């Protein structure tokens, strides 16, 4: 029987929904237990949120001042110690920048490889994952006698809801020497009132075709009308039209909203891999031959500066 | 200070990958190979630190089959001082790559090791973090800004929430994000000069790397395809369709 340890991702006392997606993935292993580990300077609020997720057996808290910010070099030894002490068979983190940073460091400390971006679970040691920007899906087999460390491709797993669950919350003593060679300096959060790109039901994205930072207002306006998150192609971010945290794609965020509207985006494979799992893709582009139309459910050809304000007004 | 740059050869980012019908892998015959784009960025970052006088020597390293010499010549032409070719007929996974790179690190004692944030073939995003763990040194992943002074690196990292800045003591491991820099173009005279630069060749098997914990790839399949949908002629038609689907 499997026993899963999930590392909670959180910021400012809020549990990230990516953690609830890891719970869904963990349940696919049909384990005897799913524990969630909260590493924080003040874990109580986050632990309370994790305890409500359906399927969670126990929440374990490690409260240390050093855990005020998620530094991989500081967290990994604690995660490795917790994974060892609890006789876990699986250690899961979300495939977010947090999970991608920490998980491989923990895996190496534990002497095992890592399965990145788990898309599906075939068995306790068999998974599928995307490679080559999602252009191939590989089945991987991990050693049957070793702990499995994996990151969960968040777009492949719906978030486990908060149910009637009230999992017990316990303090976990961990015996790990923490390094001081890595120090947090600051986090510059792009302040946005809009829904979070990674969990939003609707996303409106702009590309190089939008042309400037000022012009991006039309993307934001449409997003606001639809209560959607705003996203972008790499070209738009590189050109400085919008902040980096809006980038969708192979090297940005992989998302699965119900509705994705791509505006002035050509549809390079690196962008498409980020939106493959979207429910409905709408493309607005002046070039009717743009590759985005090969994947779009609804295509509209024309000048975005005319069409997008028209669409915004019609909704 | 020396800088070691991990310089992987991958299928060029413009190639449309085809999965072999028998599921044994992806078609690689005659496919264009290039340096991993993130590794070109890693090399560029190292070269700039050398130009700033912060580093004296930039060494590129690859773990690849014997035919990867032109790939290393490319990195030398871009400006690396020398190259280490760890020869392995089979592709290595991140844990094995990190274990091999650790051997090079122990020998060369670099002040910085710079890797790409991910290889665009396996898309793992693991090797730098694993190397940092095995080496027991700091890691600063997904770097979009890097400053080195007084035995420390100050690194801005592209994270989901925005931009995070951390400070790490050297030696340290850095992995690069796309916006760290724009790699330089190689000029013809540099290609000539690169021919005289040294490439050290070592067999992976002779490095004595640890084993265990490896993962095997058992089958390859094409992804589920999305099909082309409908084209609408105007905004009114688009809105009607969205409403029909309950999306507007
Ligand atoms: C290693 C690597 C990783 C990458 N990762 C990512 C990634 O994560 N995400 C990503 O997005 N890209 C990524 N890229 C870049 C990718 O290859 C493309 O270059 C990028 O997606 C192009 O962005 P774009 O579609 O906005 O720009 P373009 O390809 O320039 O397309 C602009 C589009 O706008 C249209 N347009 C222009 N004006 C108008 C108008 N007035 N009205 C309507 N349409 C108009 C044009 O017809 C065109 O189709 C990566 C590349 C590499 C090498
Ligand atoms: N075989 C290899 N040779 C050289 N560098 C490698 C190799 N494998 C991984 N790397 C480095 O590790 C980075 C991340 O790779 P990955 O963890 O496979 O996504 C790459 O961008 C390279 O810098």
Confirm whether A182 is domain-assigned: no
- Residues A292, A210, single domain; the answer is yes
Q: Do A299 and B165 touch (CB under 8 A)?
A: no
- Of the three residues A152, A171, A190, the one that is the final residue of a domain is A171
Confirm whether A196 is domain-assigned: no
Q: How confident is the model at residue B227 (pLDDT cuts 50, 70, 90)?
A: confident
Confirm whether A188 is domain-assigned: no
> Which pLDDT tens digit goes with each residue over A8-39?
999 999 999 999 999 999 999 999 999 999 99
> Which pLDDT tens digit goes with each residue over B12-59?
999 999 999 999 999 988 999 999 999 999 999 999 999 999 999 999
- Residues A117, A17, single domain; the answer is yes
Half-sphere exposure of A95 (CA within 13 A, CB side): 29
Query: For all residues of chain A together, what is the average pLDDT?
Result: 96
Partner residue opposite B223 with nearest CB, options A135, A198, A293: A135
Can you tell me which atom of ligand 2 is nearest the CA of B86? 3
> Which pLDDT tens digit goes with each residue over A228-280?
999 999 999 999 999 999 999 998 999 999 999 999 999 999 999 999 999 99
A246 lies in which domain range? 202-314
- Residues A247, A166, single domain; the answer is no
- Residues A23, A110, single domain; the answer is yes
- Residues A135, A222, single domain; the answer is no
Compute CA A293 distance to the chain's CA centroid, rounded to the nearest angstrom: 26
Question: Cα separation of A109 and A79, whole Å?
Answer: 9
Q: Give the model's pLDDT for residue B158.
A: 96
Q: Do A251 and B232 touch (CB under 8 A)?
A: no
Confirm whether A191 is domain-assigned: no
Confirm whether A178 is domain-assigned: no
- Residues A165, A209, single domain; the answer is no
> Which pLDDT tens digit goes with each residue over A135-171?
999 999 999 999 999 999 999 999 988 888 999 999 9
Confirm whether A195 is domain-assigned: no
Query: For all residues of chain B together, what is the average pLDDT?
Result: 96
- Residues A31, A156, single domain; the answer is yes
Residues 6+ apart with CB under 8 A from A196: A17, A229
Partner residue opposite A130 with nearest CB, options B16, B123, B159: B123
Question: Cα separation of B142 and A118, whole Å?
Answer: 21
Question: Cα separation of B239 and A192, whole Å?
Answer: 26
Q: Which of these, B9, B139, B132, B6, lies nearest to B66 by C-alpha position?
A: B9
Q: How confident is the model at residue B190 (pLDDT cuts 50, 70, 90)?
A: very high
Distances (CA, A) of B207 to A254, B84, B102, B135, B211: 37, 12, 10, 16, 12
Q: How confident is the model at residue B210 (pLDDT cuts 50, 70, 90)?
A: confident
Question: Cα separation of B14 and B197, whole Å?
Answer: 30
Q: Which of these, A3, A61, A5, lies nearest to A35 by C-alpha position?
A: A5
Residues of A in contact with B217 (CB under 8 A): 138-141
Question: Is residue B161 within 8 Å of residue A245, measured between CB atoms?
Answer: yes
- Residues A153, A278, single domain; the answer is no
Question: Is residue A230 within 8 Å of residue A253, measured between CB atoms?
Answer: no
- Of the three residues A131, A149, A171, the one that is the final residue of a domain is A171
CATH number at residue A267: 3.40.50.1220
Q: Is the pLDDT of residue A70 over 80?
A: yes
- pLDDT mean over B204-220: 91
Peptide bond into A127 cis (omega under 30): no
Question: Cα separation of B178 and A108, whole Å?
Answer: 25
- Residues A162, A227, single domain; the answer is no
A57 Cα–ligand 1 center, Å: 44
B147 Cα–ligand 2 center, Å: 23
Best residue in A18, A68, A112, A114 to probe B by mutation, most B CBs within 10 Å? Answer: A114
- Residues A158, A211, single domain; the answer is no
Confirm whether A124 is domain-assigned: yes
- Residues A166, A209, single domain; the answer is no
Strand pairing partners for B200?
Answer: B84
Cβ burial A192-209 (10 Å sphere, 16+ → b, else e): bebbebbbbebbbbbbbb
- Of the three residues A130, A156, A171, the one that is the final residue of a domain is A171
Coil, strand, or helix at residue B95? helix
Strand pairing partners for B201?
Answer: B85
Q: Which of these, B168, B202, B197, B216, lies nearest to B73 by C-alpha position?
A: B197
> Which pLDDT tens digit goes with each residue over B118-152?
999 999 999 999 999 999 999 999 999 999 999 99
Least CA distance to B161: which residue of chain A?
A189
Question: Is residue B128 within 8 Å of residue B36, measured between CB atoms?
Answer: no
Partner residue opposite A136 with nearest CB, options B117, B126, B220: B220
Question: Is residue B164 within 8 Å of residue B151, measured between CB atoms?
Answer: no
Confirm whether A186 is domain-assigned: no
Residues 6+ apart with CB under 8 A from B130: A104, A105, A107, A108, A114, B94, B95, B97, B98
Burial class (CB in 10 A: 0-12, 13-18, 19+), A227: exposed
Strand pairing partners for A141?
Answer: A126, B216
Task: Tell me the backbone φ, ψ of residue B100, rounded to 5 degrees.
Answer: -70, -45
CATH number at residue A123: 3.40.50.620
> Which pLDDT tens digit goes with each residue over A112-131?
999 999 999 999 999 999 99
- Residues A10, A149, single domain; the answer is yes
**Which residue reads 């449409």 in tokens?**
A222
Question: Cα separation of B137 and B123, whole Å?
Answer: 23
Q: Give the model's pLDDT for residue B225.
A: 86
* Interhelix angle A97-109/A72-85, nearest 10 degrees: 60
Looking at the structure of chain A, the number of domains it has is 2
Q: Give the model's pLDDT for residue B228.
A: 87
Which DSSP symbol is given to B228?
P
Q: How close are the terminal C-alpha atoms of chain B, in Å?
A: 59
Question: Is residue B99 within 8 Å of residue B210, measured between CB atoms?
Answer: yes
Coil, strand, or helix at residue B166? strand
Q: Do A133 and B123 touch (CB under 8 A)?
A: yes
Q: Give the model's pLDDT for residue B191.
A: 94
pTM for this structure? 0.96
**Which residue reads 């670099």 in tokens?**
B110
Beta strands at B2-6 and A259-263: parallel, antiparallel or unpaired: unpaired
Question: Cα separation of B123 and A24, whole Å?
Answer: 23
**ipTM value of the model?**
0.96
**Which residue reads 């549809």 in tokens?**
A267
């Amino acid at each position: 029987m499997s026993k899963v340890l999930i590392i909670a991702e959180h910021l400012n006392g809020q549990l990230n929904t990516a953690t609830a997606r890891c719970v869904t993935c963990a349940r696919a292993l049909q384990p005897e237990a799913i524990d969630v580990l909260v590493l924080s300077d003040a874990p109580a609020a986050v632990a309370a949120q994790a305890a409500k997720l359906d399927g969670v057996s126990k929440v374990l808290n490690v409260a240390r001042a050093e855990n005020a910010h998620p530094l991989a070099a500081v967290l990994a030894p604690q995660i490795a110690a917790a994974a060892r002490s609890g006789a876990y068979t699986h250690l899961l983190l979300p495939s977010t920048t947090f999970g991608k940073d920490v998980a491989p460091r923990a895996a190496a400390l534990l002497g095992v490889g890592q399965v990145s971006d788990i898309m599906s679970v075939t068995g306790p040691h068999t998974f599928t994952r995307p490679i080559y920007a999602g252009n191939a899906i590989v089945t991987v087999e991990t050693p049957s006698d070793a702990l499995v460390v994996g990151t969960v491709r968040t777009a492949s797993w719906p978030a486990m809801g908060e149910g009637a669950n009230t999992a017990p919350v316990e303090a976990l003593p961990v015996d790990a020497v923490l390094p001081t060679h890595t120090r947090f300096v600051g986090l510059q959060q792009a302040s946005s009132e809009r829904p979070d790109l990674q969990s939003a039901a609707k996303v409106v994205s702009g590309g190089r075709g939008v042309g400037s930072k000022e012009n991006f207002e039309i993307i934001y306006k449409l997003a606001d009308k639809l209560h959607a998150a705003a996203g972008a192609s790499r070209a738009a971010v590189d050109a400085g039209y919008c902040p980096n945290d809006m980038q969708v794609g192979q090297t940005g965020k992989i998302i699965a909203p119900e509705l994705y509207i791509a505006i002035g985006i050509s549809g390079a494979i690196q962008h498409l891999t980020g939106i493959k799992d979207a429910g409905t893709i709408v493309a607005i582009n002046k070039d009717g031959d743009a590759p985005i139309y090969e994947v779009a459910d609804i295509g509209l050809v024309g000048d975005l500066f005319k069409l997008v304000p028209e669409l915004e007004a019609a909704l | 200070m020396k800088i070691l740059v991990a310089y992987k050869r991958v299928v060029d980012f413009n190639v449309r990958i085809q999965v072999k019908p028998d599921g044994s892998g992806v078609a690689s015959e005659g496919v264009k190979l290039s340096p991993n784009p993130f590794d070109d960025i890693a090399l560029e970052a190292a070269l700039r630190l050398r130009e700033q006088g912060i580093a004296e020597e930039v060494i590129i390293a690859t773990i690849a089959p014997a035919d990867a010499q032109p790939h290393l010549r490319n990195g030398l032409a871009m400006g690396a001082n020398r190259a280490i070719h760890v020869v392995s007929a089979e592709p290595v996974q991140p844990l094995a790559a990190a274990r091999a790179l650790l051997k090079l690190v122990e020998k060369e004692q670099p002040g910085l090791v710079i890797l790409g944030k991910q290889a665009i073939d396996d898309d793992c995003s693991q090797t730098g973090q694993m190397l940092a763990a095995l080496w027991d040194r700091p890691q600063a992943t997904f770097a979009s800004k890097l400053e080195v002074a007084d035995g420390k690196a100050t690194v801005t990292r592209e994270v989901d929430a925005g931009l995070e800045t951390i400070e790490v003591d050297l030696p340290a491991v850095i992995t690069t994000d796309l916006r760290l820099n724009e790699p330089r173009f190689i000029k013809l005279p540099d290609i000539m000069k690169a021919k005289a630069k040294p490439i050290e060749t070592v067999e992976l098997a002779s490095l004595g790397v640890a084993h265990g914990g490896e993962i095997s790839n058992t089958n390859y399949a094409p992804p589920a395809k999305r099909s082309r949908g409908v084209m609408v002629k105007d905004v009114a038609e688009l809105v009607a369709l969205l409403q029909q689907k309950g999306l507007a």
